[in-house]
């Protein structure tokens, strides 16, 4: 199998309600999240591709709208990177992205999560 990917970023604020009160993530703070969305599938005989990048980009923009420059606590009770990545994958699948194989979501340059649906 072959995979394609799309990389992008979005900015959002959050606080984690289930950490101790003195934990730095208990306070409202922001991140520039980096995301990599991977789709795996056969290469079409006629098209020569798995999926049109434009379709993936368009669908991702629909999902990104709910995250970018938002307070994530409005959408999520506990907006951890793990929960956000799973939510993104579910939304992409709802919007008919077939073959979604991996979401990598980074909170910082050095840490993040990989979700394999």
Of 13, 97, 86, 113, nearest to 61 by C-alpha is 97
Query: Is 7 designated active site?
Result: no
Q: Which of 25, 75, 82, 104 is labelled catalytic?
A: 25
Place of tokens 């922001």: 30
Query: Is 107 designated active site?
Result: yes
Q: Is the dihedral of CA 114, 10, 107, 91 positive or negative?
A: negative
Q: Which of 7, 23, 69, 90 is labelled catalytic?
A: 69
Query: Is 14 designated active site?
Result: no
Spatial distance between the Cα atoms of 63 and 54, rounded to a whole number of angstroms: 14
Q: Which of 14, 38, 81, 107 is labelled catalytic?
A: 107
Task: State the catalytic residues.
Answer: 25, 69, 107
């Amino acid at each position: 199998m072959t995979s394609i990917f799309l990389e992008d970023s979005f900015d959002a604020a959050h606080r984690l309600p289930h950490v101790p009160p003195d934990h730095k993530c208990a306070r409202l703070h922001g991140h520039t999240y980096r995301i990599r969305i991977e789709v795996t599938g056969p290469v079409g005989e006629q098209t020569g591709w798995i999926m049109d990048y434009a379709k993936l980009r368009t669908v991702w923009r629909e999902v990104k709208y709910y995250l970018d420059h938002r307070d994530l606590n409005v959408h999520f009770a506990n907006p951890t990177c793990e929960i956000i990545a799973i939510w993104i994958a579910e939304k992409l699948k709802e919007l008919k992205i077939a073959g979604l194989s991996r979401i990598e979501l980074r909170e910082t340059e050095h840490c993040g999560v990989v979700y394999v649906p």
